[in-house]
Amino acid sequence: MARRRMTKQERTRQIYLRVCFVCALVAVLFTVLYVFLNDASKTTIDLKDVTHITLTGFDGEGVLTANIDVDEKYGAFYQTVSVDFSKSSGLTNGDEVTISFNYDKAVAKTYNLKVKANDMHYTVNGLVRATPVSQNDIFEGLDINFEGIAPLATASLDISNTKFKDVVTYEIIDEKEYYDAGEIIKVRAVFDEADLEELTYKATVPSEECIKEFIVEDVDRYITDTDQITDEMMASLKKEALTLFTDANEYGMRIFCDAGLMPVYVNKKTTFVWSSPSYISSYLNVLKEDSYGKTGTHVNDVKLCFESVISQADGKACKAEVIVRFQDIIIRKDGSIDLKLDSGEIISADRRDSHIKAIVRNEIDKDYESVKLTV
Q: Do 272 and 336 fall into the same domain?
A: yes
Q: Do 190 and 270 fall into the same domain?
A: no
- Are 83 and 50 in contact by the 8 Å Cβ rule? The answer is no
- Paired with 350 in beta bridges are 321
19 in a structural domain = yes
Which of 13-17, 196-200, 271-275, 356-360 is predicted with the least confidence, judged by mean pLDDT?
Answer: 13-17
Buried b (16+ CB within 10 A) or exposed e, 314-328: eeebbebbbbbbbbb
Share of the chain above pLDDT 90, in %: 82
What pLDDT digit, counting tens, does each position of 179-225 carry?
Answer: 999 999 999 999 999 899 889 999 999 999 999 999 999 999 999 99
What pLDDT digit, counting tens, does each position of 218-229 carry?
Answer: 999 999 999 999
Q: Do 258 and 299 fall into the same domain?
A: yes
Residue 42 has a pLDDT of: 78
- Are 322 and 255 in contact by the 8 Å Cβ rule? The answer is no
pTM as predicted: 0.69
Q: What is the mean pLDDT of residues 145-162?
A: 96
Q: Which residue has the higher pLDDT, 27 or 184?
A: 184
- Are 311 and 261 in contact by the 8 Å Cβ rule? The answer is no
The pLDDT confidence band at residue 12, using thresholds 50, 70 and 90, is confident
From residue 198, how far is each of 72, 129, 164, 167 by CA, in Å? 34, 12, 12, 10
Q: Which of 175, 91, 158, 83 is nearest to 120 (CA)?
A: 83
- Paired with 191 in beta bridges are 168
The pLDDT confidence band at residue 38, using thresholds 50, 70 and 90, is very low
Domain boundary among 191, 219, 247: 219
Domain boundary among 123, 153, 169: 123
The pLDDT confidence band at residue 258, using thresholds 50, 70 and 90, is very high
**322 vs 279: CA distance, rounded Å:** 10
Residue 296 has a pLDDT of: 86
Q: Do 191 and 265 fall into the same domain?
A: no
Q: Is the pLDDT confidence value at 360 over 80?
A: yes
Q: Is the pLDDT confidence value at 89 over 60?
A: yes
